[in-house]
Structure formats: C-alpha cells, structure tokens
Amino acid sequence: MTEMVFGTTPARAGDPILPRWWRTLDKWSLFCVLGLFAIGLLLGLAASVPLAEKNHLPRFYYVQRQALFGGLAIGVMLVISMLSPRQIRRIGVLGFLVSFALVMALPVIGTDFGKGAVRWLSFAGVSMQPSEFLKPGFVALCAWFMAASMEVGGPPGRLYSFIAAVVVVLALALQPDFGQASLVLFSWGVMYFIAGAPMILLLGVTGLTIAGGFFAYGTSEHFARRINGFLNPDVDPRTQIGYATNAIQEGSFFGVGVGEGTVKWSLPDAHTDFIIAVAAEEYGLIMVLVIILLYCTIVQRSLLRLLKERDPFTRIAGAGLAAAFGVQALINMGVAVRLLPAKGMTLPFVSYGGSSVIASGIALGMLLALTRTRPQGEMAELLRRRR
C-alpha cells in the first residue's frame, strides 16, 4: 500500500523479472483498467442480451465472447507491460507496418457489414478492424522519428512523422473513417507539441484540418449526413442519438434499476458505441462518473509519471498513447450526449468488440511499460558521466 501512495521503488539490478515488474509498475493504472473491464462485462450482461435474442443466439453469447476477448487483451497487456522501451519501439513499428498494409488492402478484400464504410476484414466468420491496431503502432513510429530528430546529427524526424501522419489520415479518411483519422491526427499533434514543435506550425495543421473537414463535408455523403444530424436542433427520437439521449435523461442520478432499462432493446449498437447510454439509464449518473474517474486516473497518472522521464522516445510515445486513450473515451461519451457528431468509436475496455478491446490491451500494455519506474540518476551525475 505504501508504494501505491508514495510511488514505486526503482528497479534494482539482479532482481527477478516478475518482482521487478510488479515493483516498478503503476498499479493504480492497472487496477483502473481492470475496473473498466469489469464494468464492461457488467454492462454487457444487460446491453447484449437483446442482440443475442434477435440473432437467435444464447442470451449471454456476446458477454462470453467479450470475456474471452477481454481475457486475451488483459494477458497481452500484462506481457507487453514487461518490455523495455526499446522493445516497445520495435514491436510498435512492426505492428504499424503490418496493420497499415492491412488498411491499404481494405478496398480490395475488406467489407462494410452494411454500415457504409469499408473498415473490416472478415475471414471464416472472424472479423477485425485493422485501424484499431494501427493507432498504437503509429504512435511508436512517430515517437521514434521525433526522438531521433533530437539527437546531434539526427534525421529530420519531425518531417518524417508529419508525412506518416498525412499518409495515415488520408488512408483512414478514404474508408471513410473520419473518427479514427481525427484521433490519429490528435495524438500526432500532442506528440509533436511535446517534441518541441512551434505553435505556428500546430496552428497551420489545425487550419488544414478544418479545411479538410469542409472538403469532406462537400464530397462525402457519409460525412455530411452525420454533420447535418449533429447540427439539426431537433433530435429524431427514432435515431440512435435520440434513443441514447432519452436513456441518459431517464437514468437521472441513481438510474432506473439493474436490468430495468429499455434503451438496449431499441439501440442496435447499445453494446458497442452507445454502451454509456445503458450505464446511464440503469445505473445513473453515479456509474457514469465512476467510469469517467477511471479514465481520468489512467491518463493523469501516466502523464505525471512521464514528466520524470528523460528519454525522449519514452516521454513522447507515452504521452501519445495516453492522449489517444483518453480522447477516444471522451469522443465516445461526447457522441452519446450529443456534444460531438456520431463517429462510430468504441469506449475502450467497456464496449463490446474483439478488435477494440485487444488493440486497447496492446496500447495500455505499451503505456504501462513506458510509465514503469526506472533508475535514472541525478542530472549532475549523468552530466559527469558524459564528460
């Protein structure tokens, strides 16, 4: 308990791997992730039953699959959290190359499952969304470029990262998947700012993003339909946003009761994109605040621990992963309460989805690995060694 309150003890040379990992790990963040996963299973017991009955499947079919995917994700997260920053960089770059190749292959071998956007690969009844796995790899790649540019005589890594960001955003926008594209661009902006980018450049990128939004509005019917629905002051109660808004209002402070909610019978995506509406209706504002607190704790503790890091790659990559994780949760909940246009983005570790939860496990494993306590010595000692 002392370590959880006052911070972990730096690793000592010669320690066995598991005790060293446990001593240096951010335990509060780990427990928050496990809490989110447990809440996701609890909400899935209510939200996924109507869909299972509609598809003539056992009542808890989707809950069992979520437990399977979640258990795999937690296992992957724990294994990755034991790696060093150098190993994180290597598997991140390799993962980016593989997932980007799959994203580029989507127009040829992908499917849209009737949702108007080709985002999935489907083989033998198993589907996956490559863009989910692209995000942590993209963060590692750009952090590597930016960190290399800080070295004496290093390459123009910031320029390389900008080119990578433009290519990835365009590839995602062509699916179209503007939600993931905006998330990738935001995480790149956070990393670029930490790497020392001038504000005028970031403002320029913001301007280009706004211009790109206007262009997409004029050329993409899918994008324009969602923006028009968001800007319309009258909410059609028969739409997903209408059902979600009404459910949140009905939940009030304490909720209508466990299993008593009705929105899960009306929302086709109640177990995925609008899982927070189920939480608000059945468990009330209290459950929503608990979920928000868990996300805020993970992001805040990660950023605070990264402030002590002197390694540029660790600091930049960790901040990018924390930003992407927190903003994805913010976007999902913002859509449900109609603060943001619909984007089809899951709530990490809470929403149902194999690709989403496993990719979140990879990203959080990388973040936990980068935020582990490491002996870095005093700055004066480091300067003496360099002399």
Q: Tell me, rounded to whole angstroms, the distance of Cα 299 from its chain centroid.
A: 11
What CA–CA distance (Å, rounded) separates 381 from 61? 58
Query: Is the CB of residue 320 less than 8 Å from the CB of residue 143?
Result: yes
For residue 232, pLDDT over 70 is answered with no
Q: Which of 35-49, 218-232, 234-248 holds the top average pLDDT?
A: 35-49
119-149 pLDDT tens trace: 778 776 677 888 899 999 999 999 999 999 9
**The total number of residues written for the chain in this structure:** 387
What CA–CA distance (Å, rounded) separates 39 from 279? 9
What's residue 81's pLDDT? 96
What CA–CA distance (Å, rounded) separates 230 from 212? 18
Determine the average pLDDT of the residues in 63-76: 92
104-114 pLDDT tens trace: 988 888 777 66
Task: List CB contacts of 186: < 8 A, sequence separation 6 or more.
Answer: 323, 324, 327
What's residue 203's pLDDT? 78
What CA–CA distance (Å, rounded) separates 67 from 44? 10
170-213 pLDDT tens trace: 998 888 788 888 899 999 999 998 988 777 777 777 787 788 77
What's residue 177's pLDDT? 81
What's residue 3's pLDDT? 43
Tell me the residue type at 337.
Answer: V
Which residue carries 């005589």 as its tokens?
Answer: 153
What CA–CA distance (Å, rounded) separates 205 from 201? 6
Tell me the residue type at 48.
Answer: S
